[in-house]
Amino acid sequence: MAIIRKLRGRAPVFGKNCFLAETAVVVGQVEMGEGCSVWYGAVLRGDVHYIRVGNNVNIQDNATIHATYEKSPTNIGNNVSIAHNAVVHGCTIRDNALIGMGAVVLDDAVVESNSIVAAGSVVTKGTVVESGWVYAGAPARKLKEVGPELLRDEVERIARSYAMYAGWYINKEKDDEE
């Protein structure tokens, strides 16, 4: 079972049909919508400010979600994929976004809807990743337009796939109880 911990009088709140892997950690002031998944080794640490997560968000293995003490909360929209080993810190990720493997999004940055932060990229403090664009590099810069095919074949596909994968685990847990 995941580590779910109340801290400073605040306990995490989860919507319906969420999957939390056994080694996931969720602490403090974290609100999560419906149909989300938090995978192995991922950490959401709402100890210094709040973390709000929308619906159908997948936070993949070893990702870290945190904030800055009393200054920069973390807000994540709907249908967002935060890939393996990503760090999302004190920023805003809007709907239908993909944060690639090992990417870092820092304080007060905003990743607009229908955007991709490429694997290994670093979105520096206060940067706005424009809607409909792929940003890549360190520091991350505008690379190319997302376009309808990339949006469908990557951003939307990954969000759908992780909802399906989480279903496998939720159903296995129900099977194990019987």
User: How confident is the model over 87-146, as pLDDT tens digits?
Assistant: 999 999 999 999 999 999 999 999 999 999 999 999 999 999 999 999 999 999 999 999
CA angle 47, 138, 55 (to 5 degrees): 45
Backbone angles phi, psi at 154, to 5 degrees: -120, -65
What percent of the chain is modeled with pLDDT above 70? 97
SS3 170: helix
Please give the pLDDT value at position 120.
98
This prediction's pTM: 0.95
Nearest alpha-carbon partner for 166 in 23, 19, 13, 7:
19
CATH number of 3-177: 2.160.10.10
66: exposed, middle or buried (C-beta count within 10 Å: 0-12, 13-18, 19+)?
Answer: buried
Peptide bond into 12 cis (omega under 30): no
What span, in angstroms and rounded, lies between the C-alpha atoms of 114 and 93?
Answer: 10
